[in-house]
Amino acid sequence: MISPTPPPVIRAVIIGCGVIGLHHASVLTRHPAFEVTALVDVSEPALAAAAQAIADQGAPRPQVFTDLAEACASGDADLAVITTPSGMHVDQAEAALAANLHVVIEKPLDVDLGRALRIADAADAAPHLSVSVISQHRFDPASAAARAALDEGRFGSLTSAIASVPWYRSDAYYASGAWRGTWRMDGGGAVMNQGIHTVDLLRWFLGRPLQVSARVARLAHAGIQVEDVAVATVEFESGALAVVHCTTAAYPSQAARLALYGTHGSAVIEGDDLAFLHAAPADLDPGTQPLTGASAENHAAEWLEKAGRAGGPPLGSPALVGHWRQYDDIARSVTRGERPGVTARDAAESLALVRAIYASAATRRTVDFGAVLGGDYEGVRPDLNG
Ligand SMILES: NC(=O)c1ccc[n+]([C@@H]2O[C@H](COP(=O)([O-])OP(=O)(O)OC[C@H]3O[C@@H](n4cnc5c(N)ncnc54)[C@H](O)[C@@H]3O)[C@@H](O)[C@H]2O)c1
């Protein structure tokens, strides 16, 4: 009997060996579909520490480079993983694509929507390469369960949502990297950096936004340029309405919360958990209105059970789950030539929603999402120094 050939391991170069670059290294050295063959960073100490961390996990020591072009030309990688400050993402992704590498880009896709749309076009023009953007919470069992219920029509139609990210970041956090809290490299504050995960989930569940109205403020961090509090209302093309609230000035931080409300069912995701899910019967007649919500059962455990089975990291590493599951999706995309679960186009639309929040706050007007996507508000940002 002929034994099946094992699938080839995907060789990854990690570009940016800071906080999240090390997290990617932890996932990729454990994940059977990948190995880390090279690292790139402008900081020699960061490179040395990351190479050592990989060797400490029993994996082969990767090559190290201070120059991205040299690493891409080395021929030692199939996949570039971009984990540098946000404002560098697209330029580096373009260099990797030009070297014929598959690409994974950390969130946000970039800080500049024009550049983000450029890489989305480049990805469309290179269907033989996989270009994906990290949005690991889409792969959490809680999100997957709610998405499955939505896809089966078990919420009826979604009518409203509340997305809240009440987090705290200290001055020391912002001081830990010169790029943090700057418009040029972070691209924004509580919405662009921290809230974008929940903003992306909101858009994933509710579809394309139509109009956005927002206010932002900088209330608790003197040393940054960007907002630490933001609130917005979003009207979607479906007619659904949502409230967005993101802050890094909410001591001591509580779990991000996304509540989705529909005509026949609802879900609440708190942190990575599915706190509540009520799904209508599979044979739902949308013309029939439920009588009262008073006796609605919580079906979360049952839907989590269905969503929770596939994939997952080795025991003892729960913090790696989201990225691990997204890498399952990336491995499928790279090896089978299929579209990844989160494309650059998808991430560009989430970035556009963040940009729409800033455009509305800066102009103190309601803005059209389509106009933002079309480039009307390029570079417009709130002045928080007044
Ligand atoms: N998905 C998530 O949950 C998550 C979490 C944290 C950060 N992030 C994202 O990851 C990115 C990096 O964040 P971080 O917290 O790891 O930042 P960090 O400052 O800890 O690390 C950035 C690294 O990039 C290196 N670098 C800077 N310029 C470079 C260049 N030109 N070429 C190569 N390397 C360069 C720096 O030396 C540093 O080691 C950001 O876009 C952030 O939004 C995502």
* Helices and strands of the chain, counted as H and E runs: 12, 14
| Whether the CB of 209 sits within 6 Å of ligand 1 | no
The predicted structure's pLDDT at residue 284: 81
Please report where in the chains the tokens 């089966």 appear, as a residue.
Answer: 152
14, 15, 17, 20: residue to mutate for ligand 1 pocket, most atoms within 8 A of CB: 20
| Whether the CB of 296 sits within 6 Å of ligand 1 | no
Q: With contact defined as beta carbons under 8 Å apart, do 190 and 229 qualify?
A: yes
Q: Could you tell me what percent of the chain has a pLDDT over 90?
A: 87
| Whether the CB of 198 sits within 6 Å of ligand 1 | no
| Whether the CB of 136 sits within 6 Å of ligand 1 | yes
Q: Which helix (H) or strand (E) holds 270?
A: strand 266-270
| Whether the CB of 185 sits within 6 Å of ligand 1 | no
Residue nearest to atom 5 of ligand 1 (CA): 20
| Cα(216) to centroid(ligand 1), Å | 25
> How far, rounded to the nearest angstrom, does the alpha carbon of residue 199 sit from its chain's CA centroid?
9
| Whether the CB of 66 sits within 6 Å of ligand 1 | no
pLDDT tens-digit readout, 197-238: 999 999 999 999 999 999 999 999 999 999 999 999 999 999
| Whether the CB of 37 sits within 6 Å of ligand 1 | no
| pLDDT score of 301 more than 80 | yes
The predicted structure's pLDDT at residue 287: 84
| Cα(50) to centroid(ligand 1), Å | 13
- Ligand 1: nearest atom to the Cα of 21: 16
| Whether the CB of 134 sits within 6 Å of ligand 1 | yes
| pLDDT score of 2 more than 90 | no
Residue nearest to atom 39 of ligand 1 (CA): 18
The predicted structure's pLDDT at residue 294: 60
| Cα(302) to centroid(ligand 1), Å | 38
- Pairwise CA distance, residues 104 & 16, whole Å: 12
Which one, of 210, 218, 227, 252, lies nearest residue 358 by Cα? 227
| Whether the CB of 49 sits within 6 Å of ligand 1 | no
| Whether the CB of 43 sits within 6 Å of ligand 1 | yes
Model pTM? Answer: 0.96
> How far, rounded to the nearest angstrom, does the alpha carbon of residue 13 sit from its chain's CA centroid?
20
Residue 114 pLDDT class (50, 70, 90 cuts): very high
